[in-house]
């Protein structure tokens, strides 16, 4: 199963990600989420050939983070930052940085979900297998 997630990257990580993912980064603007200087346009654009264009005089630091959307393959061994388990007997339980194959008694589990940052959940496992 593949899902799309959002990740926050610093400037060196953003540049490396953009070079590794040309289809996802070309001709796109990535805005820094650093709130220390909210009046300054803090962005990086990757042009059509993949070069990073920084079009202002702002100096980027460690606190400048950029959000990118990545598609990743989920397996039963993938560590999920916020894993919600729907137990047949006891209802829902939230686990942090856990994975499906972590000794959960699967016969007592109805489903596994990812808790998204916007508080919605994505179903990733039910009926004894990953969702297609």
Assess whether 87 and 62 both reside in one domain. Answer: no
Pick from 56, 105, 100, 59: nearest CA to 80: 100
Distance, in Å, from the CA atom of 3 to the CA atom of 124, rounded to the nearest integer, reads 9
**Among 32, 53, 72, residue at a domain's last position:** 72
pTM of the model: 0.65
Assess whether 58 and 99 both reside in one domain. Answer: no
Distance, in Å, from the CA atom of 131 to the CA atom of 74, rounded to the nearest integer, reads 10
Phi-psi map region of 128: left, alpha, beta (phi>0 left; psi -120 to 50 alpha): left
Structural domain of 125 = 80-130
Assess whether 43 and 84 both reside in one domain. Answer: no
Q: By the 8 A CB rule, do 40 and 64 touch? A: no
Assess whether 54 and 84 both reside in one domain. Answer: no
Assess whether 48 and 30 both reside in one domain. Answer: yes
Assess whether 57 and 98 both reside in one domain. Answer: no
The one-character DSSP state at 15 is H
Give residue-wise pLDDT tens across range 19-59.
Answer: 998 888 988 888 887 767 666 667 888 988 888 887 666 77
Assess whether 47 and 100 both reside in one domain. Answer: no
pLDDT above 70 (res 85) = yes
80 φ/ψ angles, rounded to the nearest 5 degrees: -105, 125
Range of 45-54, 61-70, 77-86 with top mean pLDDT: 77-86
Distance, in Å, from the CA atom of 92 to the CA atom of 95, rounded to the nearest integer, reads 10
């Amino acid at each position: 199963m593949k899902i799309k997630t959002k990740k926050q990257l610093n400037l060196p990580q953003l540049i490396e990600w953009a070079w590794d993912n040309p289809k996802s980064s070309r001709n796109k603007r990535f805005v820094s989420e650093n709130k220390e200087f909210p009046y300054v346009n803090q962005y990086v654009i990757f042009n059509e050939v993949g070069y990073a264009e920084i079009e202002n005089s702002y100096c980027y630091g460690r606190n400048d983070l950029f959000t990118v959307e990545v598609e990743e393959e989920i397996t039963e061994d993938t560590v999920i930052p916020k894993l919600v388990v729907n137990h047949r007997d006891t209802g829902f339980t939230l686990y942090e940085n856990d994975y499906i194959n972590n000794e959960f008694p699967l016969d007592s589990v109805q489903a596994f979900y990812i808790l998204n940052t916007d508080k919605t959940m994505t179903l990733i496992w039910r009926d004894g297998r990953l969702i297609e």
